[in-house]
Amino acid sequence: MAFSRAVVAFLLLTLFSLSLVEARHGFEFHSLMASGAERNLLQRIDCGTACGVRCSLSSRPRLCKRACGTCCGRCNCVPPGTSGNHEKCPCYANLTTRGNKRKCP
């Protein structure tokens, strides 16, 4: 009985120490091993600047920047240019309002 308690305690201690090592070094290791798509998810874009460019020609720039900022925050992507180019960022293009209209400018 004492032997099994010692084994269980050893296993729990080992798992705990491995989780600490993973928490400390796991992100660095993962970022080195990440593919191109995963690497993009690890790096956040500057939504304010990207949406400022996207909404620069809008007739309602504050409304445009607010909607764009919401979409950028969810997708971490803003299509290039001031309009169109939705194929460059499918997540951004697929967000819709309750009325089934495009949410993102």
Cα 38–103–80 angle (5° rounding)? 55
Q: Which pLDDT value is given to residue 58?
A: 95
Mean pLDDT of the chain: 79
> How would residue 24 be classed by pLDDT, with cut points 50, 70 and 90?
low
Taking residues 58-64, report their average pLDDT. 95
Q: What pLDDT band is residue 10 in, cutting at 50, 70 and 90?
A: confident
Number of other residues whose CB lies within 10 A of the CB of residue 24: 9
- Which of 101, 57, 50 lies closest to 75 in space, CA to CA? 50
The predicted pLDDT at position 43 comes to 84
| Distance from chain centroid for Cα 27 | 14
> pTM of the full predicted structure?
0.58
